[in-house]
Structure 1
Amino acid sequence: PANRLVAGELEARWNKALARVTEVEGKIAAHDAATLAPILDPGSLATLAADLKTVWAAPSTDARLKKRIIRTVIHEVIADIDPEAAEIVLVVHWIGGVHSEMRLPKRRRGQRNSTSADVIAAVRQLALIANDDLIAGILNRNGLVTGNGNRWTRERVTSLRSHHRISVYKPADDGIEPWLNLGNAARLLHISSRTLRLAAQAGEIDAIHPLLDGPWIFSRAALSTSSARAITERARQNPKYPTGSHPDQQSLFSSITSTDGCCDA
């Protein structure tokens, strides 16, 4: 008899739970039916597509987010090999039903894809002031890729450094960095970043500029030379045009020289 009472109680609780589940499912169905799906116009879709490229190319986008994007927009990818063209053929089936074909060169036996020596040299110099995350962003911003044609990530920069025995950037324990970027170097000299950059471009002070769209790098030793002091003094004496005379100003001495030459003739 005791077991029958327990069984009856359990059955009653089970039926009550099933009724609750049915009630909740009904509320969810009613809510879904009352919620209208948003209607996107073609312009909004085009904007989303442009934003997708921006998000994908952003240095802050990690592998996890890229995987989520791929799962959202791609149904499947079918790979095949074209032996005559020595290419890998990829057919991408998008969620919307469109198919795209991509062809990639197939690595031949014994072939090695090495990273450009210029990229390695740039990483060696950038590692003086930047960590691997920042270096990857700078390389991508300059349109540089790995030996296999991939975008740079922190992991790939770390692997490149390790392979070529390039030391990782570590802030100095005493806060006195041996290498400084443009902003920190300018603050050390008490001049503007523009003044120091123009001086570096003119060759008035030693500096490293590994990439066109990248940071300027200055050694602390170069900032204590007579050239650096001359730049600072010139900026102090002529704050409006710290890098020299106004570009539209004509040279008086060149005119005098030209006149004297004419008279001597």
Structure 2
Amino acid sequence: MPHADTSLWIRRSVVARELEARWNGALERVAELEGRIKELRAASAESPKIDRALLLQLAHDLPRVWNAPSTDTRSKQRLVHIVVREIVCDLDENTNEAVLLIHWTGGRHTGVRVARVKTGRYPGDMVPTAVDALCKLAGHWPDRELAVSLNRMRCKTGDGETWTTVRVREMRERLGLPEYDPASSDGKMISLAKAAAHFGICVGSAKSLVLKGILLATQAIKGAQWLVPVDALTSETVRIAVQRVIERRPKNYIDYQYDRMLRLPGI
């Protein structure tokens, strides 16, 4: 019996120590939360008071707030999060437009149609097979770029899906086609994107120069990536054309280039 009493006393001591440790931990947690509450109250007291009348006035004049020179991108993003609940996107194949339905916080809805890019698309009766396209392009571009080209040419996989990097790699390996090796490039040709970056213009402007015959470029197959001879970059004709592109830029080009501007319909 004395042994049983000792065992019971030990168990009770262990339980008491465990409860005491938990209690102390809870008290520390409470003290930590009380400290955070004090800090938040102090920060709230130091912050400037909101003029409700002025805030409501600004709410009724959103375009003026949105277009004010002092409104930066961060502020515009916060405004978007406040006034827009969601944006639903659909495609209208008949008009080749993206149809956007904006759900505003107040319950209103706005429909916006945005034209989709038409350049570089294949007519339905001229779409090449994925095998033919890969046989001509494999080894010249990374699998990711090949997937972009195949989708641009409206090629589909065997089960009707669009192309991804993984699907291109699997198909290329199944056909025994070589993988792209950047070390094998002789450096005489660069992509149109790199040429555009060299000139300091966008890819669309560089492609426009190609289509006008000003900037030399070739494609292994229509819809594939453009390749520009390095020697063509130093052409005087190209230099003059690029300078004209730069001079036609709007004054707010830099803002758009670095995504510093956001737009809302009607503002």
Q: TM-score range by the shorter chain?
A: 0.3 to 0.5
Q: Using structure 1 for the length normalisation, give the TM-score.
A: 0.38
Higher relative contact order (CA 8 A, sep 6+): 2
